[in-house]
Every structure is written in structure tokens, then in C-alpha cells.
A = this chain, B = another copy of it.
Amino acid sequence: MSRNEGPEVGSRLGYLLKHAQLRMAELNTKALAPYGIDGRELGVLLVLAGGEPKSQQQAAQRLSVDRTTMVALLDTLEDKGLVSRHPDAADRRRNVVELTPRGHDLVRRATKASDDAERALLAPLSPQAAKQLRNALQEIVSSADDEQA
């Protein structure tokens, strides 16, 4: 008979989310290393790959990072030849940021590699449980976004 030890740190959501996130970042880093980027950079590329061309500030807002952080992120992606910046003709304070052809090609291949990393993280779960996890996280994150707005 084991007595109750009380609340355990390993069942706290803060602990679980932090360690799951660290594990995902680690898997992404390994999976993306052959492409010369990490998970955060893939995130930026995916924002730029979808929909309308965006300014640096719009890309930053989409990822909830500061615009000064976005400057540094785009500097490295530009150095790697994956994105290009041009002044917006309609508002020359803005930079329009777009994927280069090489950036487009890389985001497609790197996304597949990152899909593999996600599958590795979710490996211990049933397909249904994996889908429910993703859905639950999406609800939590989007509801947090609503409260900001």
C-alpha cells in the first residue's frame, strides 16, 4: 500500500507542456538540420508561404513575436537566400517579405521532414488520440488569442 504523495510535478500542465514543447523542438531541430533551418525558421517560412504577401510587422504579429525579433529572424533567412525584402510601393515604410524560389522549394521539403518529427512525438498515441491532442491545443491557443483581441 503506497500512501498518497500529494500533487506531483509530473502531472502539472505547466511541466507537461514545457517538456512536450522541448521534445518537439528537439525533434524538429534534428529533422530540419539537413535543410539548414530550425523549427522557428520554418514557422516564419510557413507564414510567408501562405496567402497574401506580408510586411515584416504582419509576419511578426502572426507569430506573436516582437518586430525587433522578426528583423533578426529575417536577416538570417535572407542570408540563406530563402526570403527577399522589398519596400512596399504603396507604403514605403514597409518591407514586403516573400519567399524566394529556393525558399518555396525548401519549405515544401522541410515541412515533410517536420511532419515526420511530429509523427515521432505522437508515436505513443493512437491516431485518434493524436488528432484530439492537436484539436485541444488549437482550441486552447485560439481561445487565448481571442482574449488578447
Interface residues of A (CB under 8 A from B): 5-21, 23-25, 28, 39, 42-43, 46-47, 49-51, 62-64, 111, 114, 118, 121-125, 129-130, 132-134, 136-144
10 smallest CB-CB distances across A and B, nearest first, come from A17-B21, A16-B137, A9-B46, A124-B143, A133-B136, A5-B50, A23-B144, A14-B39, A124-B139, A19-B141
A17 surroundings in chain B (CB, below 8 A)? 17, 20-21, 24, 137
Given A14-B24, A19-B144, A141-B20, are A9 and B136 also a contact pair (CB < 8 Å)?
Answer: no
Chain B hits for A133, CB < 8 A: 132-133, 136-137
Give how many copies assemble into the complex: 2
Main secondary structure on chain A at its contact with chain B?
helix
Contacts of A124 in B (CB 8 A): 139-140, 143
A130 cross-chain contacts in B, Cβ below 8 A: 136
